């Protein structure tokens, strides 16, 4: 783990490296850079959560059918993950993760 790159904002701290922000009274959280893998995993996890939620609502009888705008969001997140993969492949050899 590299050194934290957080800066004080007056109300707390913000770190461009790990994308975290925290209150000045809180302990500094572990700093881990936002990587292509981390971005891809976050997008796919959220897409899975949306799709599972929609299936569960229909199965429980709380909805007659899955909510299309939410499924569209899941599709967008899956496409974002694919773009992250493309960007990762394009930067191989440049020292980027």
SS3 per residue for 4-24: CCEEECCCEEEECCCCCEEEC
Task: Check residue 95 and give its pLDDT.
Answer: 55
Alpha-helix runs per DSSP H in the chain: 36-59, 68-90
Q: Which two tokens stand for residue 43?
A: 């997008």
Domains of the chain, residue spans: 1-34, 36-90
Mean pLDDT of the chain: 89
Q: Would you give the DSSP letter of residue 34? A: -
**Is-contact 4 18, C-beta < 8 A?**
yes
In the chain, pLDDT over 70 holds for what percent of residues? 93
pLDDT in tens, 47-88: 999 999 999 999 999 999 899 999 999 999 999 999 999 999
Flag whether pLDDT at 4 surpasses 70. Answer: yes
């Amino acid at each position: 783990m590299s050194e934290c790159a957080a800066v004080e904002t007056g109300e707390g701290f913000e770190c461009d490296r790990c994308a975290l922000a925290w209150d000045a009274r809180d302990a500094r959280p572990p700093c881990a850079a936002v990587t292509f893998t981390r971005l891809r995993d976050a997008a796919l996890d959220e897409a899975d959560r949306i799709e599972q939620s929609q299936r569960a609502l229909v199965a429980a009888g709380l909805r007659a059918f899955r909510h299309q705008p939410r499924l569209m969001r899941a599709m967008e997140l899956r496409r974002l993950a694919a773009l992250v993969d493309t960007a990762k492949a394009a930067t191989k050899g440049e020292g980027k993760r």
